[in-house]
Structure 1
Amino acid sequence: MKNNVSVWFLYIIRTAKQSLYTGITTDVARRLQQHKNGKGAKHLKGHKDLSIVYQVNVGDRSTALKIEYQIKQLSKQKKERLVLQQPNLEQLLLDFLIL
């Protein structure tokens, strides 16, 4: 019997203009392609030069949504630090006190 529990990822995309976009998905490569094709986030429409600069397996959708919300509240400087440090899930949970 197949287990239908999806594994969720949090990702951050950098645009050619150096802005950062945070999202969640069950398939990072598919979602990046959707963004490149203009599907999805309004923030990324018209941006063709997109690259994943950070991704982490966060497990379930609920956790993914909580972490995504927390990261979207960060300043650009703090998001850049996150991209630089590439924290694992445990570090993210501790940083955002999502336990």
Structure 2
Amino acid sequence: MEQRAKQYFFYVLRCADATFYTGFTTDLKQRLMTHNSGRGAKYTRVRRPVKMIYHEQLATKSLALKKEYAFKQLTRQQKECYLREHGVAEKYLLK
């Protein structure tokens, strides 16, 4: 039986209050459902519904965690710039 390599993703959610939430996962669809069901992060629990506006696949868990950490260190303006540069629609960036 062939085993697939595990996939790791860095992702950005846009919360109902127009804030961003960043995380990492191995299953994007399941993670989004978890956030929107209220069983995700405490931060998103009170800011539902959330929409996944961006994700990147990375080779290792370590790289995904580093990407998440680096993104969280950016200012709101820098985050918006990064997301624009990576093709996220303007409607998801405005408050």
Counterpart contact for 1:35–1:44, Cα < 8 Å: yes
- Mapped to 1, the partners of 2:32 and 2:54 lie a distance apart of 12
- Mapped to 2, the partners of 1:12 and 1:24 lie a distance apart of 9
User: Amino acid of the residue matched to residue 31 of structure 1?
Assistant: R
Secondary structure of the residue aligned to 2:33 is helix
Counterpart contact for 1:8–1:25, Cα < 8 Å: yes
Secondary structure of the residue aligned to 1:24 is strand
1:1-99 → structure 2 map (5 Å cutoff): 1-3=1-3, 5-86=5-86
Q: Which runs of 5+ in 2 are unaligned?
A: 88-95
- Mapped to 2, the partners of 1:77 and 1:36 lie a distance apart of 26
Secondary structure of the residue aligned to 1:64 is helix
User: Amino acid of the residue matched to residue 17 of structure 1?
Assistant: D
- The total of aligned residue pairs comes to 87
Secondary structure of the residue aligned to 2:77 is helix
- Mapped to 2, the partners of 1:40 and 1:82 lie a distance apart of 24
Secondary structure of the residue aligned to 2:22 is strand
Q: TM-score, normalised by structure 1?
A: 0.79
Deviation, 1:5, is 3.6
- Mapped to 2, the partners of 1:83 and 1:30 lie a distance apart of 22
Secondary structure of the residue aligned to 2:12 is strand
Q: Which runs of 5+ in 1 are unaligned?
A: 88-99
Give me the identity figure in percent: 36
Counterpart contact for 1:36–1:47, Cα < 8 Å: no
